[in-house]
Amino acid sequence: MVLALITLVTLVFYFLKIASVSADNRRSAAVFEQSLRASIDQFEYLPALLARNEKIIAHLRSAYSESTLDDLTTNNELAFSARRSGADIVYVLRPDGRVTAASNYQDKIGSFVGHNYGFRPYFARVMATGERQFYFAKGMTTGIPGFFISSPVRVDDRIIGVVVVKLELASLLDSWESSHDRVLVSDANGVIILASDSQWLYRLLAPLPIRKLNQVYRERQFPEENHELLFQPDPFLSMLPTGGADYWKVDGKTWLVDHFPVNGTDWTLHHVVSHRQILLPTLACFFIVSLLGCFWYLLMRERQKKAVYSAKVRQTEIRRREDLQRLIDHIHIGVLVFDGEGCITSMNDYAENLLLAGASFNENGVANVVDLLRLKSLDGLDSYLVDLQRTPQYFETWTRIGESPVPVMFALARVDYDNSEHYLMTLINIVRRKRAEEQLVKLNASLASTVDERTRELKVAQQELLQKSKAAALGNMAATIVHELSQPLAAINSSVAAIEGKVKRENWSGAMESAARLKPLGSKMRDVIQLLKSFSYDDSNHIGLLDVATLIQQMLDLHHDQWQERGIQIELIDRLVAPANRVNMSAIKFDLAVSNLLKNAMEALEKTASPRIRVELSATASHIQLVVEDNGGGLDDAVMEHLFSPWFTTKEVGKGVGLGLSIVYEIVQQQHGDIHAENISHDGAETGARFTLQLPLAVP
Chain contacts with ligand ADP (rule: CB under 6 A):
596, 600-601, 604, 630, 632, 635, 639, 643, 648-651, 656-662, 689
Tell me how far, at minimum, the Cβ of 661 lies from ligand ADP, in Å: 3
Cis preceding-peptide flag for 407 (omega within 30 of 0): no
Residue 225 vs 686, nearer CB to ligand ADP: 686
Q: Whole-angstrom Cα distance, residue 121 to residue 532?
A: 185
Tell me how far, at minimum, the Cβ of 693 lies from ligand ADP, in Å: 13
Nearest in space to 617 (alpha carbons), one of 608, 609, 626: 626
Residue 68 vs 662, nearer CB to ligand ADP: 662
Is 255 buried (19+), middle (13-18) or exposed (0-12) by CB count in 10 A? buried
β pairing state of 158-167 and 89-93: antiparallel
Residue 152 vs 632, nearer CB to ligand ADP: 632
Tell me how far, at minimum, the Cβ of 612 lies from ligand ADP, in Å: 12
Tell me how far, at minimum, the Cβ of 636 lies from ligand ADP, in Å: 8
Nearest in space to 610 (alpha carbons), one of 643, 567, 657: 567
Residue 335 vs 528, nearer CB to ligand ADP: 528
Residue 257 vs 628, nearer CB to ligand ADP: 628
Tell me how far, at minimum, the Cβ of 643 lies from ligand ADP, in Å: 6
Tell me how far, at minimum, the Cβ of 632 lies from ligand ADP, in Å: 5
Residue 119 vs 535, nearer CB to ligand ADP: 535
Tell me how far, at minimum, the Cβ of 481 lies from ligand ADP, in Å: 14
Residue 316 vs 530, nearer CB to ligand ADP: 530
Q: Whole-angstrom Cα distance, residue 179 to residue 27?
A: 14
Fill in the amino acid letter for 76: N
Position with the least CB separation from ligand ADP = 660
Q: Whole-angstrom Cα distance, residue 659 to residue 481?
A: 12
Nearest in space to 148 (alpha carbons), one of 173, 117, 177, 183: 117
Tell me how far, at minimum, the Cβ of 587 lies from ligand ADP, in Å: 20
Tell me how far, at minimum, the Cβ of 460 lies from ligand ADP, in Å: 30
Question: Assign residue 633 a region: left if phi > 0, alpha if psi is -120 to 50, beta otherwise?
Answer: left
Residue 196 vs 600, nearer CB to ligand ADP: 600
Per-residue 3-state assignment (H helix, E strand, C coil) for 27-63: HHHHHHHHHHHHHHHCCCHHHHHHHCCHHHHHHHHCC
Contact 336, 351 (CB under 8 A): yes
Residue 221 vs 649, nearer CB to ligand ADP: 649
Contact 634, 687 (CB under 8 A): yes
> What is the CA 664 to chain-centroid distance, rounded?
79
**CA atoms within 13 Å, Cβ hemisphere of 692:** 11
Tell me how far, at minimum, the Cβ of 598 lies from ligand ADP, in Å: 9
Residue 373 vs 659, nearer CB to ligand ADP: 659
3-state secondary structure of 363: coil
Q: Whole-angstrom Cα distance, residue 560 to residue 567?
A: 11
3-state secondary structure of 339: coil
Q: Which residues pair with 439 in a beta bridge?
A: none
Fill in the amino acid letter for 129: T
Fill in the amino acid letter for 288: I
Distance in angstroms between the alpha carbons of the first and the last residue of the chain: 108
Residue 203 vs 614, nearer CB to ligand ADP: 614
Q: Whole-angstrom Cα distance, residue 44 to residue 52?
A: 14
Tell me how far, at minimum, the Cβ of 656 lies from ligand ADP, in Å: 3
β pairing state of 404-417 and 582-586: unpaired
Residues with Cβ within 8 Å of 141's Cβ and at least 6 positions away in sequence, in order, are 110, 111, 112, 115
Tell me how far, at minimum, the Cβ of 570 lies from ligand ADP, in Å: 14
Residue 278 vs 605, nearer CB to ligand ADP: 605
